[in-house]
């Protein structure tokens, strides 16, 4: 049963899309970490939402659990569990969860659609790269489709067939079409206000009711603005 959101405790910058006894689904803004790092402990979606579920009471036993993560500069749909059991159930079926992203890349693509596949490896310096050798990394698949393009940029719909760290960013960079604003895997500097990657829609099976839940967010104006505007067709999936 969906719960009502108490706006008094709603974390700033986060929009709650769905909340029930078992899960919490939010729309995360760009610039906010999912969970703490060595350099940033407090200003994270996890910390803000932990405060939210505790409703200001340190004695509260309410908690949230990480199901998956979005990079700091990626906006959009982020799912948390409210029990350990819900977390495990969601993670076990995560590969079956349909995850659609929108991204703007540099350049015009030769292919209109396709699937990028490689084995992703993370270096000791925490940089992810592709390999053709199965024993080195994890098999990763990224399905893409061109939605609109200009002379400079291409708007892509991306279905994440596997969920590896930095997967979309690495795969688009491998194709020589890095994401606009990606300073780690592209050649961009900080001249863009953010990275043009957004977790647009997600369809999951509820961990207990087994109901199929679908969520969709508004496309950030920064992303649509790069390609001169974009209106999504309801037939697009």
Name the residue among 113, 143, 103, 74 with its Cα closest to residue 226. Answer: 103
* Catalytic choice (71, 132, 174, 188): 71
Active site residue 71: yes
CA atoms within 13 A on the CB side of 163: 18
Is the Cα dihedral 165, 168, 171, 176 positive or negative? negative
How many residues are there in the chain?
237
Asked if 217 and 78 touch (Cβ cutoff 8 Å), the reply is no
Which residues have C-beta within 8 Å of that of residue 173, sequence separation ≥ 6?
Answer: 179, 182, 185, 186
Q: Give CA torsion, residues 78, 35, 75, 28, to 10 deg.
A: 60
Instruction: Report the catalytic residues.
Output: 71
């Amino acid at each position: 049963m969906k719960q009502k959101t108490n706006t008094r405790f709603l974390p700033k910058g986060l929009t709650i899309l769905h909340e029930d006894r078992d899960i919490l689904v939010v729309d995360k803004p760009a610039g906010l970490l999912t969970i703490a790092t060595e350099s940033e402990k407090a200003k994270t979606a996890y910390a803000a939402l932990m405060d939210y579920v505790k409703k200001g009471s340190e004695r509260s036993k309410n908690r949230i659990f990480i199901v998956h993560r979005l990079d700091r500069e990626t906006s959009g749909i982020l799912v948390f569990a409210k029990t350990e059991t819900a977390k495990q159930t969601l993670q076990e079926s995560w590969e079956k969860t349909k995850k659609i992203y929108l991204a703007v890349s540099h350049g015009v693509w030769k292919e209109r659609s396709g699937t990028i596949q490689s084995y992703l490896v993370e270096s000791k310096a925490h940089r992810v790269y592709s390999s053709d050798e199965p024993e080195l990394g994890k098999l990763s698949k990224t399905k893409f489709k061109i939605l609109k393009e200009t002379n400079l940029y291409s708007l892509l719909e991306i279905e994440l067939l596997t969920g590896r760290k930095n997967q979309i960013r690495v795969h688009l960079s491998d194709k020589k079409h890095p994401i606009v604003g990606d300073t780690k895997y592209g050649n961009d500097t900080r001249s863009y206000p953010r990275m043009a990657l957004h977790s647009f829609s997600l369809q999951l099976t509820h961990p207990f009711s087994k109901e199929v839940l679908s969520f969709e967010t508004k496309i950030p104006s920064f992303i649509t603005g790069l390609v001169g505007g974009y209106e999504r067709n309801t037939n697009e999936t």
